[in-house]
Structure 1
Amino acid sequence: MPGRWFCDNARMTAAGSRPESRDDLIAIRRVRDRIDREYASPLSVELLARGVHMSAGHLSREFRRVYGESPYSYLMTRRIERAMTLLRRGDLSVTEVCFTVGFSSLGTFSTRFSELVGVAPSVYRDDPSRSVSGIPPCMAKQVTRPVRNREVGDATET
């Protein structure tokens, strides 16, 4: 129905594009919560879908519809966010951080990190201007959240 909106923590969508059922929405939230908890574990869309008794395709479509990104993209963002925190602390090497957050390849980690953050992990670790000192903890998560290049382009156009 036009004019009716479905509201979720992630975003608002028109009623015509909401998940097909309340059970689907609950399952998708469980997947998001599992990704948040187990980001360092080897997770695949198939494994996540099996855990909520959905097909991988259905889970991917509904997750994207509700949260605006695929489950894989959400997982990569969580891993990179955690890596940023560990790199700011400075007590682990880039390689140790890579494996701690769940990547199995340093090359893939560096590529994904550079895509989302804009600089290589070693540069991020060594650059004191990227520190969050002086920023209240309630704001630090928002300020340090990795942003995909296409999202930056969208934000600067408005």
Structure 2
Amino acid sequence: MCRPGWHRARIAAQHLSDLARLRRVRDRIDREYRRPLDVEALARDTGMPAGQLGREFRLAYGRSPYAYLTARRIEHATALLRRGGPDLAGVWAAVGCSSPGVFAARFAELVGMPPGAFRHRAAGPGAALPPRPAEHRTGPVRNREAPAPEPQLA
């Protein structure tokens, strides 16, 4: 015979455990953003199937692991461009993007302007900079699908 509320407590404990695993995945992506994303390896390390990891990550953070990684890469790229870091070819390589074309497309999608224009505006005195990429949009919207629901963290 189970005590009243035991089942709810067990579900709550599992939810907290899942959130901790997702936070470790997010932290790993933050640390290793220059490397290619391997969702299968991330899932193996958390003990979840890859599909479940993707769904749970989206619920917790409002975007897929890949979209989160892309936003982090572009965020780091904007920081490099603001500081006047390496040339554009050096920037896309420094943040781990696979090609300059992919980098330019994702940058423009998330920031609202191409990287060269962003660098030019950032170099100008008193130029207003657009918001950081993670704040600009919730992630790439390739087919104009409905936005993901707000994450429900307990």
TM superposition score normalised by structure 2: 0.73
Structure with more relative contact order (C-alpha pairs < 8 Å, separation 6 or more) = 2
Name the amino acid aligned to 1:110.
Answer: A
> 2-side partners of 1:145 and 1:56: how far apart?
26
Who is 2:26 aligned against? 32
CA RMSD after TM alignment: 2.5
Q: Percent identity between the aligned chains?
A: 49
Verify the 8 A CA contact 2:67 2:139 in the aligned structure 1: no
Q: 1:78 aligns with which of 72, 77, 88?
A: 72
Name the amino acid aligned to 1:40.
Answer: R
Q: Kindly tell me: are residues 150 and 36 of structure 1, through their superposed partners in 2, closer, same or farther at Cα, counting changes over 3 Å?
A: closer
Q: Kindly tell me: are residues 150 and 21 of structure 1, through their superposed partners in 2, closer, same or farther at Cα, counting changes over 3 Å?
A: closer
Aligned residues: 125
Q: Kindly tell me: are residues 77 and 31 of structure 1, through their superposed partners in 2, closer, same or farther at Cα, counting changes over 3 Å?
A: same
Verify the 8 A CA contact 1:19 1:66 in the aligned structure 2: no
Verify the 8 A CA contact 2:63 2:139 in the aligned structure 1: no
Name the amino acid aligned to 2:39.
Answer: V
> 1-side partners of 2:13 and 2:106: how far apart?
29
Answer with 1 or 2: which has the greater Rg: 2
> 1-side partners of 2:34 and 2:59: how far apart?
25
Q: Kindly tell me: are residues 130 and 42 of structure 1, through their superposed partners in 2, closer, same or farther at Cα, counting changes over 3 Å?
A: farther
Verify the 8 A CA contact 2:40 2:50 in the aligned structure 1: yes
1:91 shift after superposition:
2.8
Who is 1:7 aligned against? none
Q: Does 1:144 find its partner at 2:138?
A: no
> 2-side partners of 1:125 and 1:73: how far apart?
23
> 2-side partners of 1:150 and 1:104: how far apart?
18
Name the amino acid aligned to 1:104.
Answer: S
Verify the 8 A CA contact 1:40 1:79 in the aligned structure 2: yes
Verify the 8 A CA contact 2:33 2:69 in the aligned structure 1: yes
Q: Kindly tell me: are residues 78 and 49 of structure 1, through their superposed partners in 2, closer, same or farther at Cα, counting changes over 3 Å?
A: same
SS of 2:35's partner is coil
> 1-side partners of 2:138 and 2:61: how far apart?
18
Who is 1:60 aligned against? 54
Runs of 4 or more above 3 Å deviation: none
Q: Kindly tell me: are residues 19 and 70 of structure 1, through their superposed partners in 2, closer, same or farther at Cα, counting changes over 3 Å?
A: farther
